[in-house]
Structure 1
């Protein structure tokens, strides 16, 4: 029995915890019964997320990085090991903004916009780097256009980081990817990289990781219409139709 299994056996059944005393104005008995059943599933989902996170933390040491990649940053060149700063953990996000793109990926941009606001808190715990193959000047210009203040941008156009850790071919398109690196005793190792993509997607769903890192989808999943498979974030929006402002 694993420690996670033992911990699970110590927990009260979700259906016992899901006897909510809350009541909303005008709700029916049918609504309350269905809502409590949903609450039990939400509790189970939270527990499963905790189990997966514990399994992730228990991964054995990953591979040592093959080289100390050198990047172009907003204030000059620096290496992957230098990106850690005062931390022992570095999270990187590969932004789909390669040199062949006229404009960056709207989905990536939506995610990065939310992370920019969270970055002062994230940087208290870990280092975080946004990496793309475009020249750093293009990346910084877009950062200013969007009003981002806290994201740290780095160009990987002069190294093989995207090939090694985002599964990108030099002459092909670009991929979004989260990676986590650790530094211990001067040795930098890969700890985790997301591996969910089109080949792991369920029918009728967009490929995405678990948990989903994009806050917009988390919010829309709370609504009656959900994610709407035919709607995606855009870089710009025109005037809202009458009655929908």
Structure 2
């Protein structure tokens, strides 16, 4: 079943010359955004780094692997922190939506000294069938038996949640509606020639928008993303027959930026 968004708000239908004048006026803002994005990207690359002190060991379908192993011979590693829904033994639909973009990017990242790995607390025996179901080819690992997700502030214990406040997206979140035991994020690491691993960046909440190519296409269209809450329309790509939108990670964002 194809979903159809409501008709866009009424728009003026004008002559080609009037349309062109409006489009050129809008182009000024688009160019300003591009320049600001370039500035933010440069600031991100210039951030200081911090050494990873723990020796994390992950489970994979190929056996145990350390964080260093996940670099796969490259110097840069991008980790997507994938939410596992413990109550349903499924991956989060919104994280799955993001993950649908990864295999295409990986065709190029691997040739640019970048390894991309999905890390989830979902156990190997549960997550492997989920990956097979959705047809993904990217590499992934389970942090079920280590502290990785907790250390990078995307997983939270019952005791942490019981305090009424968690640290997520570099701020204290004290509103229960924005708290979960699993949250989405991305972290980036660099490996020095001597084997030291440096943590260079992490992003959360709306900061993950940069990974979502489908959003960029939708933002070009008259109907846009057509959402009441962030990503409330998203489903796993094999579940679009289900007419009921369901909210998950990021649909009630703890931070708009």
TM-score per shorter chain, which class? Answer: 0.7 to 0.9
Q: CA deviation at 1:239?
A: 8.1
Unaligned runs of 5+ in 1: 1-25, 198-207, 241-245
> Which residue number corresponds to residue 73 of structure 2?
86
1:63 maps onto 2:50 in alignment:
yes
- TM-score scaled by length of structure 1: 0.77
Q: CA deviation at 1:117?
A: 2.3
Determine if contact 1:136/1:153 at 8 Å carries over to the other structure: no
Q: CA deviation at 1:232?
A: 1.8
| Range with bigger deviation, 69-78 or 99-108 | 99-108
Residue by residue over 1:41-84, the C-alpha shift from the partner in whole angstroms, topping out at 9 and shown as x without a partner, is: 11111111111111111112x22112120000121110001111
> Which residue number corresponds to residue 8 of structure 1?
none
Q: CA deviation at 1:119?
A: 1.4
Larger radius of gyration: 1
Unaligned runs of 5+ in 2: 1-13, 159-179, 244-257
Which secondary structure does the structure 2 equivalent of 1:179 belong to? strand
- TM-score scaled by length of structure 2: 0.73
Paired residue for 1:188, among 185, 189, 197?
Answer: 197
Change (3 A) 1:31 1:193: same
Residue by residue over 1:158-215, the C-alpha shift from the partner in whole angstroms, topping out at 9 and shown as x without a partner, is: 00000011342133621111000111122111000014x4xxxxxxxxxx11753211
1:102 maps onto 2:110 in alignment:
no
Change (3 A) 1:27 1:141: farther
> Which residue number corresponds to residue 176 of structure 1?
184
> Which residue number corresponds to residue 141 of structure 1?
129
- Equivalents in 2 of 1:27, 1:70: separation in Å? 63
- For this pair of structures, how many residues does the alignment match? 202
| Range with bigger deviation, 27-36 or 69-78 | 27-36
Greater percentage in strand:
2
Higher relative contact order (CA 8 A, sep 6+): 2
